[in-house]
Amino acid sequence: MNRVEARLARERRTISVMIGMYCRAHHQPVSGLCPACAELEAYALLRIEKCPFGWRKPTCAKCPIHCYKPEMRERVRQVMRYAGPRMLLRHPLLAALHLLDGWRAPPQRP
């Protein structure tokens, strides 16, 4: 796996882990994700795939292009508010790398 693929794979894993943590705490699904969280995860993963910045993509909070629909953006914010602090304990490497990504200057618009 090259650098480009690894960066995007980590981004996908981070959002999936965060949504999973949120769903288990708030919706208590029997297994996997509840339908609403599964929809959010599919949407977020699609947005990552279609990001015009590709592997250079900044964290969404610092992105000059906001490609999420307002409703989905708010749902992701809720997930991140809940899961973000908990990531430091449960997935410290993913959390640290996500924080480092947030410190990068966002690239110019394509």
Give me the domain span that covers residue 76: 3-103
Question: Is 7 part of a structural domain of the chain?
Answer: yes
State how far the alpha carbon of 109 is from the alpha carbons of 4, 51, 63, 75, 95, in Å: 18, 11, 9, 25, 26
Let me know if residue 26 belongs to a domain.
yes
Q: Identify whether 24 is part of a domain.
A: yes
pLDDT in tens, 41-57: 999 999 999 988 887 88
- Tally the domains of the chain: 1
Residue 109 lies in a domain: no
Q: What is the pLDDT of residues 75-104, one digit of tens each?
A: 999 999 999 999 999 999 999 998 888 887
Domain annotation covers residue 48: yes
Q: Would 76 be classed as within a structural domain?
A: yes
DSSP string, 13-46: HHHHHHHHHHHHHHT--SSS--HHHHHHHHHHHH
Asked whether residue 85 is assigned to any structural domain, the reply reads yes
Identify whether 11 is part of a domain. Answer: yes
- Tell me: pLDDT of 109 over 70: no
